[in-house]
């Protein structure tokens, strides 16, 4: 803690050289002690703040992790349901297409076999 020249001059005039030196030394020593106490107190507060901040970050990380797991679960459920719906739709379309192909197959077979049968009957009657 700096002491101004005017204050030192006044103290020397009032108290004398020795007591002024002792008083200035005591004030400087008190300032050093106070600084160290303030530093220690600041370290204690900073360590408490650091612990609280670390705890809050940990809680926030846990909260975010839970949220991510929940979102992953929702996405997984939606994807599973969506894929199941697509599988059902594809199966329905394939079965409908297979049914149509079988119907046309019988129509073409009948269109080929009926004239062939008629031709064979005509050949046997000759």
pLDDT recorded at residue 3: 57
Map out the domains of the chain as residue ranges: 5-125
Share of the chain above pLDDT 90, in %: 56
Tens of pLDDT, residues 43-86: 888 898 999 999 999 999 999 999 999 999 999 999 999 999 99
Share of the chain above pLDDT 70, in %: 96
Helix 5-15 crosses helix 17-125 at what angle (to 10 degrees)? 140
pLDDT at 37 over 90: no
Of all helices (H) and strands (E), which one includes residue 1? none
Residue whose entry in the numeric block shows the structure tokens 């030196």: 21
Here the tokens at position 24 are 């200035």
Per-residue pLDDT, averaged over 18-34, amounts to 75
Please report which residue ranges of the chain form alpha helices under DSSP H: 5-15, 17-125
Flag the least confident range among 32-41, 58-67, 99-108. Answer: 32-41
Is pLDDT at 92 greater than 90 in this prediction? yes
Q: Give 65's Cβ-side CA count (13 Å radius).
A: 6
With a cut of 70, say whether residue 2 has pLDDT above it: no
Give one DSSP letter per residue of 74-102, joined into a string. Answer: HHHHHHHHHHHHHHHHHHHHHHHHHHHHH
């Amino acid at each position: 803690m700096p002491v101004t020249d005017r204050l030192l001059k006044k103290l020397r005039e009032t108290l004398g050289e020795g007591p002024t030196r002792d008083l200035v030394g005591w004030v400087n020593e008190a300032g050093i002690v106070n600084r160290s106490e303030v530093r220690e107190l600041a370290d204690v507060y900073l360590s408490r703040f650091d612990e609280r901040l670390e705890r809050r970050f940990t809680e926030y990380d846990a909260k975010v992790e839970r949220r991510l797991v929940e979102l992953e679960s929702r996405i997984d459920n939606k994807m599973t349901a969506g894929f199941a719906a697509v599988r059902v739709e594809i199966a329905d379309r394939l079965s409908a297409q297979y049914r149509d192909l079988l119907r046309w197959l019988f129509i073409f077979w009948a269109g080929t076999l009926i004239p062939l049968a008629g031709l064979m009957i005509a050949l046997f009657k000759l």
